Amino acid sequence: MRKIGLIVFLLTLYLSSYAQEIRFDKVALSDSIAINQTMQDLAEKLSKQELKPRDRYRAYIVSGEYSKAIKIIKSISGTKEEQVFLDFYSIYATAKSTENFTGSFRQLYEDYLKSSDDIHLIDLDLAMVIRDRTSQYIANFNNTYNKINSGTISLKAAKNLVNTYYFKSVFSATKHMVAEEIRKDHERRYEIDDSILIPTKDGEEISAILVKRKGKTVSKSPTLLAFSIYAEEKPLWAMLSASKGYVGMIANTRGKRKSKSKIVPLEHENTDVYEVLDWISKQGWSNEKIGMYGGSYDGFTQWASMKHKVHPALKTIVPSVAIAPGIDYPMENNVLHNFSYSWNFYVTNNKYLDNEVVGDFKRWNNLKNTWYSSGVAFNKLDSLDGEVNALWNKYMKHPAYDDFWKKMIPYKQEFSKIDIPILTITGYYDDSQRGAMHYYNQHHKYVKNPNHYLLIGPYDHWTAQDKPMEYLRNYKLDKAALLNIRYDLVYEWFDYILKGKEKPGILKDKVNFQVMDANTWMHKPSLAAMTNDTLRFHLSANKKGDLYSLESQANDSKVVLTVDYKDRKHMSNTEYYPWPLEREKINLKDGLIFKSDVLQEDVIMNGSFFGNLEFSINKKDVDYSVIVYQLTPEGKYFHLSYYIGRASFAKNREHRNLLTPNALTQIPFSNSKIVSKKLEKGSSIVIVININKNNNAQINYGTGKDVNTESIKDAATPLKITFSGKSSISLPIWEK
C-alpha cells in the first residue's frame, strides 16, 4: 500500500507540474529587441520550475544566468557527439558573461580549436559548419512562437518555446564566427592546393584538390584518392587522409568544380580516373603508391578506374557501398526507381551540388503522386515536372544491362586482370548492397582466390561509409557492430597495405559479418562458407488463422493474387523497403502472406535468401517482390531482407524474355540482400509475395512493351497470377 501511495503522490505531483501555467505576453515577432526581452522573462520564470538539466541550462542562458548554466553544462556526461556541442555551449555562455561577446567568443573558440587534435577539428567542422542547422532553428522558433497565444501557456509549451529560442539565438549569434575560426585553423594545419586542373587525353579537364599536413608529410608519401561527383568547397576527407600520414587528394567528375567541361555522370570515369592516377604517380611528392577510398558513387569510380587495366601505382581500393550502374542504379533488378530522377539535377545543375533542389521534397512528392494518380507513362515524368531531365531520358532507353552500362565498369573477363588487395564494405540495409556484391562476386568469378576482403554488418548506405549510431531505423545495434569505419578501419587497411603494418583485427578471414542480436562477428573464407544448412519453404493454400502456410514439402496448392492496375486509390507493395526494421504489425491485406511453424531451435540466418516461383499469369511480364520477416516470439515483425525484380529479366539481366500468358512458368531469383541475424527459438518466418504497384517505381502493366511507355491505358484487364505449391523460398542458415 505504501508503494501504491508513493506512486499516486508522484503521479499527482507530475501532473500538477505538467499542467502548471506560466504568464506569457506575446510581442511582434519582427521586433527583435522586444522578443529578446520577452523570452528572457519567460526563461527566468521557467528556471524557477522543476526542470531536467538540459532544459535548465538552456533556460539559464536565455535568462542571462551564465555562471549557473556553465556549472550545469560541465556536470553533464554526454556522448562523444554531444560533447562537441556541450563544449560549444560552455564557450558561448562564458563569452556572454563578458562585456565583449564577439571578441571573447572568437578568442575562446580559437583557443579551443588549437587545443583540439585533427580528428576532433574535422568532427567540429562536420557538426558545426557542414551540417549547420541555423536556418532550421530559426524556422522552428518562428513556427513555435506563431502557434502560441498570448496570456498563459503550459509548462510544456514554455520549455519548448525557450528551447527553440535558445538554439536560434546561440547558433545565429555564432554561425559565421565558428565557420571563420574553423577555416583559419584548417589553414594553420594543412597545405591545400585547390586549383589543380588535370587534362584528359580527349581534351577535357578534371578539377582536383591536394592536401598535405604541415610538419608531418614526408617528401615522398603514399597518396589516398577519392574520385567523386559530389564536389564540395572543403576537402574534409582529404584533410583526414593528410592527418593520418598520407597525401590526401579529391578529384571530381569532369565538369565539376573548376573544370570547364560538360558534366556527364558515370560515363567517363572508366578513363578519367585512370588518367588522374597516372598524373599523381608522376608528381614529385608521390612515392607511386596510391590507394582509393570512398562510398556510393566514389565506390563506383574505384572499380571504373580498372575497366581497361589496373594502373601500376594503384596498390589497393576500399570501396564502400559502391553503386554499379545498370545493376543497382538507377534500377534494381531491371526495375527503374524514381528516386534517381532528382539526383540528376542535384549533381548537374551547377559546379558543386544543388542542395536546394534535392531538398525540395514537396516537388518530388507531388511529382511521383501526380504521376501515379494520372497513370501516364513513366517516360512522361519530366513532362509532368515541367523541366527536361536529359540524363533520366537517356537511362530509360536502356532497361536491359546493355552496352551503355557495360562500358562504365569492368565486365566479365575484364575482372580477371584485377590483382590488387581490395576491402569491400557494405551493410545489410545498404541500398547499394547489390552493387557492392556485384563487384565482389564478379571478381571472385573471374579471379581464383583474389586478395579481396568483405566486411558487412547492420549498416545502411550512410553508416557503412562512416560510423554507425546506436540505433538503425529503430533497431538497437549490438555493441560489437559499432565500428568506426571511416576514421579507423579504412586507414588501418591502408596502413596494412601501403605501410606494412598489421592487418585490421576485425578482418580475421576473407568474409567478415556481424551477427545481429548475437553481439558477435563471424569470419569465413567465402560467402558459401557462411551457411551450413538451408530452411526451405513451399507456398501453401492451407491457412493458419488469417495467413497462408509455409510448408516443408512441395504440394498441389494454388494461391491466387489479383491486382487492378486501373485502381489508383490504392497501392501495393508499399512495405517492401525496410523502414523501420521492426514493426508491431504489417499490412495483412497487401499481397500474399505466408507463415511458417515456429522454430524449435535458435538458428542464424546467414547470407542471401533465394527462391523459385512457379506460377501462371495472364500477362507477358510482371514486377514482383518477396519480403522475408522474422516474427519474433514477442509478436513483432523484423524485416530481414527483400527481393524486387522484373520476371522477364530474372534469368538474364541483359536480355528480356517475356512470359507466355496463362502458361505455367518458373522464375528463379537469388539476388536478394545479404543479412546475418540470430533467429530465436519460438520465432516464425513470414514471407510476403507481392506485385509492385506504387508511386516509387515504374509500373509494369505486362503488355510486353517497353515498360517506360506503358500507361494506365494498358490496364484494361486486371493482373491475375496463380502461384503453385511447388514455389519455394530458401533461407541460408548456420547451425552449430
Closest to 267 measured CA to CA, from 394, 441, 442, 414? 394
pLDDT in tens, 319-376: 999 999 999 999 999 999 999 999 999 999 999 999 999 999 999 999 999 999 999 9
pLDDT in tens, 121-139: 999 999 999 999 999 999 9
Rounded CA-CA distance 132/239 in Å is 19
Looking at the domain assignment, is residue 12 inside a domain? no
The residue assigned the cell 557527439 is 81
User: Can you give the pLDDT at residue 79?
Assistant: 84
653 and 538 share a domain?
yes
Q: Which residues contact 699 (CB under 8 A, 6 or more apart)?
A: 378, 565, 623, 692, 693, 707, 710
The residue assigned the cell 517505381 is 697
122 and 212 share a domain?
no
User: Can you give the pLDDT at residue 300?
Assistant: 98
Closest to 229 measured CA to CA, from 360, 354, 393? 354
Looking at the domain assignment, is residue 11 inside a domain? no
User: Can you give the pLDDT at residue 11?
Assistant: 43
Q: Please identify, among 528, 545, 565, the residue that sits at the C-terminal boundary of a domain.
A: 528
537 and 614 share a domain?
yes
CATH label of the domain that carries residue 467: 3.40.50.1820
- Going from the first residue of the chain to its last (736 residues), give the mean pLDDT of each consecutive group of 10, the final group possibly shorter: 45 46 93 96 95 97 98 91 94 98 98 97 96 96 95 94 98 98 98 97 98 86 98 96 97 98 98 98 97 98 98 98 98 95 97 96 97 97 96 96 98 98 98 98 98 98 96 97 98 98 98 98 98 98 94 97 97 97 97 98 98 98 98 98 98 97 97 97 98 98 98 98 98 94
C-beta of residue 34 within 8 angstroms of C-beta of residue 150: no
Closest to 674 measured CA to CA, from 595, 613, 723, 734? 734
Looking at the domain assignment, is residue 13 inside a domain? no
DSSP 559: E
Looking at the domain assignment, is residue 8 inside a domain? no
177 and 300 share a domain?
no
300 and 372 share a domain?
no
Q: Please identify, among 528, 544, 565, the residue that sits at the C-terminal boundary of a domain.
A: 528
Q: Please identify, among 497, 528, 559, the residue that sits at the C-terminal boundary of a domain.
A: 528
Helices (H), 375-432: 381-385, 390-396, 403-406
* Rounded alpha-carbon distances, angstroms, from residue 686 to 141, 563, 592, 604, 644: 45, 21, 10, 16, 17
Closest to 24 measured CA to CA, from 161, 176, 222? 161
Rounded CA-CA distance 491/477 in Å is 23
Looking at the domain assignment, is residue 4 inside a domain? no
Looking at the domain assignment, is residue 332 inside a domain? no
Q: Which residues contact 444 (CB under 8 A, 6 or more apart)?
A: 450, 452, 526
User: Can you give the pLDDT at residue 81?
Assistant: 84
The residue assigned the cell 505538467 is 18
User: Can you give the pLDDT at residue 218?
Assistant: 73
383 and 478 share a domain?
no
Print burial letters for 251-277: b (CB count within 10 Å at least 16), e (below 16): bbbbbbbbbebebbbbbbbbbbbbbbb
Looking at the domain assignment, is residue 234 inside a domain? yes
233 and 320 share a domain?
yes
Rounded CA-CA distance 731/116 in Å is 49
User: Can you give the pLDDT at residue 13?
Assistant: 41
pLDDT in tens, 215-273: 876 789 999 999 999 999 899 999 999 999 999 999 999 999 999 999 999 999 999 99
694 and 728 share a domain?
yes
Rounded CA-CA distance 124/267 in Å is 36
CATH label of the domain that carries residue 664: 2.60.120.260
C-beta of residue 175 within 8 angstroms of C-beta of residue 134: yes
567 and 665 share a domain?
yes
Looking at the domain assignment, is residue 192 inside a domain? no
357 and 342 share a domain?
yes
Beta strands 314-320 and 422-429: pairing type?
A: parallel
User: Can you give the pLDDT at residue 129?
Assistant: 96
Rounded CA-CA distance 486/483 in Å is 9
Q: Containing domain of residue 637, as a range?
A: 531-734
678 and 560 share a domain?
yes
Amino acid symbol at 508:
K
Overall domain count for the chain: 4
429 and 503 share a domain?
yes
User: Can you give the pLDDT at residue 2?
Assistant: 47
